[in-house]
Amino acid sequence: MRANPLSRTPRPHFPMLELDKVHNLDCFSATTQIPNDGVDAVITDPPYPNRMNLFDGSLVDGLAMLYLACKKAKKYVVFFWNPFDVPPPPAGWHEVARHVWHKPDARSITHYEVIVCWSKETKQKVSRVWSIPILDYRSLHDWKPHPTQKPVRLLRYLLEQYTTEGETVYDPFVGSGTTAVACQQMKRHFIAVEINPEYAQIATSRLKTPEPEPTPATAAVPDEEQAPDEITPEASDDATSTPAPTKPIRKRAAKPKAPAAEVKAT
């Protein structure tokens, strides 16, 4: 019997993207270079519908990329979205948690975003509420000119929840690089992709000069210790926010007390 020539045809090889680097590529071109189950988790902030009409030209890319990411992740796909019209997971995946990021310094009419977690397993996980300013006072040096940049502290919490040290995280919409910075601080490998060359350069520069790791006050802590930050924000109509300006708090000096009047004996 003659052998089937197709059986000898080598399978196409997709080279793995270099780890711990920001790649200035289209997210779909980059993702084809990652084998199925090639990363442990995908954590990203994709383009999604919002009332400020940001990223209108790439909304379909954001949704399509989430479904494609499910083929690349071994365990979790975690993503930011507006509080309304959250997409359902694809077949074989399940939504196991929906966190809330409350932004106390937001100036828009919606002061929160949701963070959705999809998993291959059906077991539900605890959903959290994190109240963290957009301009986190603990990391103001970390702010870069990106319209939807997330605080590093928030990404550290997500890494703590869904990954362990040494695992690989993929972010196909890394923007100014917050996911990559958090991974670098917490000893996770990452593959970061950004199509905008200006933002990709910003992300790369943040990694070339590693930012100082948070003090113990900013490090990810068990949720039991976060109770003061866990609140229930009010719902409203817009999912994108800009930070409110902050003013320094000045304390008035205490006035010296007047000396007590002397009482003369009569």
Mean pLDDT for each consecutive 10-residue tract of the chain (266 residues)? 48 68 94 95 84 53 89 97 90 97 80 94 96 67 59 94 97 94 96 94 84 50 39 38 46 52 44
User: CATH number of the domain that 36 lies in?
Assistant: 3.40.50.150
> Which pLDDT score, from 0 to 100, does residue 158 have?
97
Residue type, 231: I
The Cα–Cα gap between 72 and 75 comes to: 9
> Taking Cα atoms as reference points, which of 195, 205, 203 lies closest to residue 31?
195
Q: Do the domain assignments include residue 248?
A: no
Residues 6+ apart with CB under 8 A from 155: 43, 178, 179, 181, 182
- What pLDDT score was predicted for residue 183? 97
Q: How far apart are CA 127 and CA 97, in angstroms?
A: 5
Range of the domain at 85: 14-229
Does 252 reside within a domain?
A: no
Residue 258 in any domain: the answer is no
User: Is 24 within a domain?
Assistant: yes
Given this model, what pLDDT does residue 174 score? Answer: 94
Residues 109 and 82: beta-carbon distance below 8 Å: no
Domain assignment present for 254: no
CA 172, CA 203: separation in Å to the nearest integer?
13
Question: Is residue 69 a part of any domain in this protein?
Answer: yes
The three-point CA angle 90-32-63 to 5° equals: 35
Number of domains composing the chain: 1
- Token digits for 130? 């994190």
Burial class of 90 by CB neighbour count within 10 A (0 to 12, 13 to 18, 19+): middle
In a domain, 257, yes or no: no
Residue among 141, 162, 136 nearest 211 (CA)? 141
Cα distance between residue 61 and residue 57, in whole Å: 9
Does residue 236 form part of some domain?
A: no
Task: Provide the pLDDT for residue 12.
Answer: 43
